[in-house]
Amino acid sequence: MNPDTLRNVGLLVMRSGLGGMMITHGWPKVMAGPDTWIKLGNAMTHFGIDFQPALWGLAAALSETVGGLLLVIGFYTRPAAAALLFTMIVAARLHLVKDGLSDASHAIEDGFAFFGIMLLGGGAWSADARFRGKS
């Protein structure tokens, strides 16, 4: 395979795998309701934000669920990856403060991957490329 094809296969694998895992993490949080959203949203207190924890928690759950779906299909790939990166930054900070590096490492690793996808975009095998007419 040529380098362009390998790049696009790599992006498809990363988008699909990470996006699918984010959906499996996010959907139960969306369905759990306001009590769970408040617990999630309270992570923002580590950034000095203590208002509307339910809204922040729902935003995180939707970021994982909808952002994951968008990554899988490669639609609005960069904004979806940016939302997921922000969510991972918050999760990493929470785990670093509460539990240490070992528990924060998963969110940090995912954050690096989302940052890379944000920079690279969805690749040629994505809905973004199809709608731009470049697939």
**Overall average pLDDT of the 101-123 stretch:** 97
DSSP secondary structure code for residue 126 in this structure: S
Is the model's pTM score more than 0.95? no
Q: Given this model, what pLDDT does residue 133 score? A: 73
Q: CB-side exposure of 37: number of CA atoms within 13 Å? A: 19
* Spatial distance between the Cα atoms of 62 and 65, rounded to a whole number of angstroms: 5
Above 50 in pLDDT, residue 135? no
* pLDDT digits 0-9 by tens, 7-64: 999 999 999 999 999 999 999 999 999 999 999 999 999 999 999 999 999 999 999 9
The total number of residues shown for the chain amounts to 135
* pLDDT digits 0-9 by tens, 58-92: 999 999 999 999 999 999 999 999 999 999 999 99
**Residue 15, exposed/middle/buried by CB under 10 A (0-12, 13-18, 19+)?**
buried
